[in-house]
Structure 1
Amino acid sequence: MKLCLVLLGVSAGVRLALALGTDVYFDTAYYWQWARHPAWGYFDHPPMVAWLIAALGIHGTALLCGAGTVAAVWGLARDVHGSREAAWRAAALWSVAPVGVVAGAWATPDSPLLLFWTLALWALWRERWLWAGLACGLALLSKYPAVLLGLAFLAAAARARRLPAGAWGTAALAALCFVPVVLWNARHEWVGFAFQLKHGLGGRGGWATFGEYLGGQLALGGPVLFPLALVYAVRGPREQFLVRMAAVVPLLFFGYAAARTRGEANWPAAAYLAACVGVAGMRPVWQRLVAGTGLAVVLAVGTHLFIPVLRFERDTALWRTHGWSVLRELANPERLFPGADARNVAAIYAPNYQLASQVARYTGAVTDTGAPARYSQYDLWPDPAIAPGQDVLWVGEGGPNPPDDLVSRFTSVEGPVELGGDFRERRLHTYLVWWLRGLKPVPPPQQ
């Protein structure tokens, strides 16, 4: 019990330090932009993370969802094992799982998904069908893969040869919650569904991408928790079949997806919630190994993010979490370009949605994307309103130059000016900024 409380305390401290001691995570800035434009859906995901950021802020969303998920894991494990001691073990194991720490420190769609997935699984276990339907609906509003929990439940029902009547109400309530997202997609040519299907199952994969998937699970799931999740799914107690399926279905589904395309290591994150519940009932040696290796990964990466001793050719962890706040300088372009007037800068453009969102977060400016940006939510929003004579900035990381179709709309271009994003005397980002002066009047249409 004391060790569990120590792990929970250390984990809470690490999450708080990561949340407050790093720059805004680049994807989180994108979701913060969504929060400024409330809707029932967005190009990449359903709306829950945006709603929570609008209500709670970036840090509040991550920290509260993270703490809530730990509490929900405790409740689920208590009922599954019939033991408060096992509940504390499960909560402690999840608290130091790397994927749980990430979701509890930086606000992403995983943050609410993991919370509502756990609450839904808990309600399904207890056959509280109304609460299960509401939690499943909220999970679907968080991230599309929440549907995999329904597949896990159907697998358990098929094995038991029993589909409780109340489960139909659960499905109906969850679907009702999700209907507005479907309608939003229908009004936008099904862009959200199409993107996720292409992103998750399209492209070219093979053994190389599947190997990357396995490596990602050993890192984010944990070098011991990942294999034990598979062991639990195959050899766990018969009466815990629903929880076992909640662990294995996401791992199998995204393993299949990884064989078809290059995915993201966090995609099967929800699998490790059930895995921690399962490991809480295993031998103490396995519990200690899971806790020790998970905590070691969390502390090693966390220490590196604050005191980087090792140097890598491309330090992705540092690049994602530091060196963005210097973009505040763009709010005062006269410091970069003598003669520039911040009041005349109508918008700031960037070549990708991540950088455009970081600029918006740190400057409060109107931002948009331009070539070679991939299609994103920015393409669904109206173009910035720029009056003739007004200026814009273009900022890229190490390039590219402003696209020709944008440059041709202005009378002159100055730059680039270099803006360095440093951390601990390391150059992580090199931003190049151009000043596009004086939007040309739009010529009248020819008669």
Structure 2
Amino acid sequence: MERPLAWRPVTVIAVLLFGVLLALSPWYGYHRDELYFRVLSEHPAWGYVDQPPLTPMLARTGIALFGDTLTGIRAFPALAVAILVVLMALIARELEGGRAAQVMAALGTATGAYSLIAGHSLLTLSFDLPLWAAAILFLLKALLREQPRWWLAAGAVIGLATFNKHLIALLVIGLAVGLLTAGPRRILASPWLWAGALVAVVIALPNLIYQVTHDWPQLKMAAALSANKGAEMRVLFVPMQLTLFGPVVSVLAVWGFVRLWRDRRVRAPAVAYPVAAALTLISGGRFDYTAGLILLLFAAGCVGAEKAWRPWLAGLVLSGLGSAVIALPLIPVAELASSPVPAINEVARESVGWPRFVAAVNGVLGALPPDERARAVIVTGSYGEHGALAQAGVPRVYSGHNQLWEYGPPPETATTVILVNFGPRGLAQFGSCEEKARIDNGAGVDNEEQGLPVYLCRGPKQPWSTMWPMWRHFS
């Protein structure tokens, strides 16, 4: 018998979360990824070398509907995480959880550090989390209700998720391994399962066509990420699994894994987590690739803990208070550097100091004689730097970082170049280079831009068309 949905408390949690996220959205500044997505949104395409098109297109839509502001670009992430809260309550209900389990699932999701980060800033994970949750909800309906038509809905969401990130493949592979090894294997003979798989492939087809026609850029991107950060991500993987959504969520997730494993009907989704974790570790992927499955295990744990819900609910509230300080812009910028937040939360760290960065680069550009200034270009090493300058309206900005390389090279008449975030190899491409400024974010936060020199270079040693391939890099 299906449990009723605790719609009132769950709705209150979701609406309050949405309101808090919107209210805090103007604090600090843009994250570098938001600045990048803003640039990509001005170049609509079926895909980009480092990602599918959904997040940039939602950035474009948010700006069109709500204005080219921090709140405008962050409205959809806040809504997406509010929807995630409701989906997690529905997952708990699907796992036979009553009112208390649903409220715990909603509250734990809403107050998890990772959820708050996803809802505060426009990131790919902002939409990946609810897409995974929707796919998991539908596959649970297919497994538990023995209503195989739900495989069509799961396939549709999985196909749609490929337009945001291709990581949904981890869920598919994990579920497939779970069905093969832990059953129920009879599901594999269901025509509805394969029809759902076909729906997913058809919807995802534009992504596949883009990859084929562009020489599989996502594979190159994945290899670059593994080479750059793979070792670090492997070291961080286990501790971050325990802290992504807070320690109470982690404990309940362990309980949830045991509970799912004991129920043959849903043993396959339980197996999906260790499979996804193993694939992430082997590939050197980010520790957050398993976040969607952690939330599934947590929801199952909430059902198991329902009879003694009061201490667990209190623990989630206390954990949520700590998560809010870490994940949301609650600490004044002037005091941020003296807190542990920048070391823990990369999004906060990289959301500080962009106006001062733009002012420093503009100062170098403005000091040039008028005729030279009119021909000068700016080349940045990072998409965040490019995006900050573009957002401020600075003209003739180029970068070789990820997709931005496709929008170059500078014109051959560009013999005066302002370089930011380049080492000796970049400087060596010019007849002369002189440091003209050094970036100071004004808050003392140790982020990627803090302390970077700004160089004024003249006399490229080769035509831009010849040396532009050398400037391309993935990270």
TM-score, normalized by length of structure 2?
0.77
Q: Is the Cα–Cα contact under 8 Å of residues 280 and 287 in structure 1 kept in the other structure?
A: no
Which residues of 2 match residues 214-363 of structure 1 at below 5 A?
214-236=238-260, 238-239=262-263, 241-242=265-266, 245-246=268-269, 249-250=272-273, 252-255=275-278, 257-258=280-281, 261=284, 263-283=285-305, 284=309, 285-302=311-328, 303-304=330-331, 306=333, 307-308=335-336, 310-311=338-339, 315=343, 317=345, 318-329=348-359, 332-333=362-363, 337=367, 339=369, 344-345=374-375, 347-363=377-393
1:89-121 per-residue CA deviation (whole Å, 9 max, x = no partner) reads 322211111111111111122112112111122
Q: From 403, 410, 414, give the equivalent of 1:377.
A: 403
Q: State the alpha-carbon separation in 2 of the partners of residues 442 and 82 from structure 1.
A: 66
Q: Is the Cα–Cα contact under 8 Å of residues 93 and 102 in structure 2 kept in the other structure?
A: yes
Q: State the alpha-carbon separation in 1 of the partners of residues 54 and 234 from structure 2.
A: 30
Evaluate the alpha carbon distance shift between residue 441 and residue 216 of structure 1 in structure 2; reply closer, same or farther with a 3 A threshold.
closer
* CA RMSD between the two structures: 3.7
Match of 1:181 in 2: 207
Q: State the alpha-carbon separation in 2 of the partners of residues 180 and 290 from structure 1.
A: 41
In structure 1, list runs of 5 or more residues that go unmatched: none
Evaluate the alpha carbon distance shift between residue 165 and residue 413 of structure 1 in structure 2; reply closer, same or farther with a 3 A threshold.
same
In structure 2, list runs of 5 or more residues that go unmatched: 1-5, 64-72, 143-149, 467-475
Q: State the alpha-carbon separation in 2 of the partners of residues 156 and 313 from structure 1.
A: 38
Q: State the alpha-carbon separation in 1 of the partners of residues 236 and 462 from structure 2.
A: 51
Match of 2:28 in 1: 22
Find the residue that maps to 2:135 and give its secondary structure.
Answer: helix
The answer to which structure has the higher helix fraction is: 2
Q: State the alpha-carbon separation in 2 of the partners of residues 162 and 326 from structure 1.
A: 61
Higher relative contact order (CA 8 A, sep 6+): 2
State the number of aligned residues: 429
Amino acid at match of 1:394: L
How much does 1:137 deviate? 0.7
How much does 1:135 deviate? 0.8
Match of 1:115 in 2: 130
Evaluate the alpha carbon distance shift between residue 334 and residue 201 of structure 1 in structure 2; reply closer, same or farther with a 3 A threshold.
closer
Evaluate the alpha carbon distance shift between residue 259 and residue 382 of structure 1 in structure 2; reply closer, same or farther with a 3 A threshold.
closer
Q: State the alpha-carbon separation in 2 of the partners of residues 441 and 204 from structure 1.
A: 35
Q: State the alpha-carbon separation in 2 of the partners of residues 295 and 37 from structure 1.
A: 40
Q: State the alpha-carbon separation in 1 of the partners of residues 362 and 230 from structure 2.
A: 44
Q: Is the Cα–Cα contact under 8 Å of residues 141 and 177 in structure 1 kept in the other structure?
A: no
Matched, 1:416 2:436: yes
How much does 1:297 deviate? 2.4
Q: State the alpha-carbon separation in 2 of the partners of residues 156 and 432 from structure 1.
A: 52
Q: State the alpha-carbon separation in 2 of the partners of residues 202 and 416 from structure 1.
A: 30
How much does 1:403 deviate? 1.7
Q: State the alpha-carbon separation in 2 of the partners of residues 362 and 254 from structure 1.
A: 41
1:307-347 per-residue CA deviation (whole Å, 9 max, x = no partner) reads 53735697464531211222332674467525356961553
Q: Is the Cα–Cα contact under 8 Å of residues 213 and 258 in structure 1 kept in the other structure?
A: yes
Q: Is the Cα–Cα contact under 8 Å of residues 21 and 120 in structure 2 kept in the other structure?
A: yes
Q: State the alpha-carbon separation in 2 of the partners of residues 109 and 313 from structure 1.
A: 22
1:21-63 per-residue CA deviation (whole Å, 9 max, x = no partner) reads 1211122322332222222222222222122112224313312
How much does 1:155 deviate? 4.8
Evaluate the alpha carbon distance shift between residue 168 and residue 17 of structure 1 in structure 2; reply closer, same or farther with a 3 A threshold.
same
How much does 1:195 deviate? 2.8
Q: State the alpha-carbon separation in 1 of the partners of residues 383 and 103 from structure 2.
A: 41
Q: State the alpha-carbon separation in 1 of the partners of residues 429 and 386 from structure 2.
A: 16
TM-score, normalized by length of structure 1?
0.81
Amino acid at match of 1:435: L
Q: Is the Cα–Cα contact under 8 Å of residues 62 and 103 in structure 1 kept in the other structure?
A: yes
- Percent identity among equivalent residues? 22
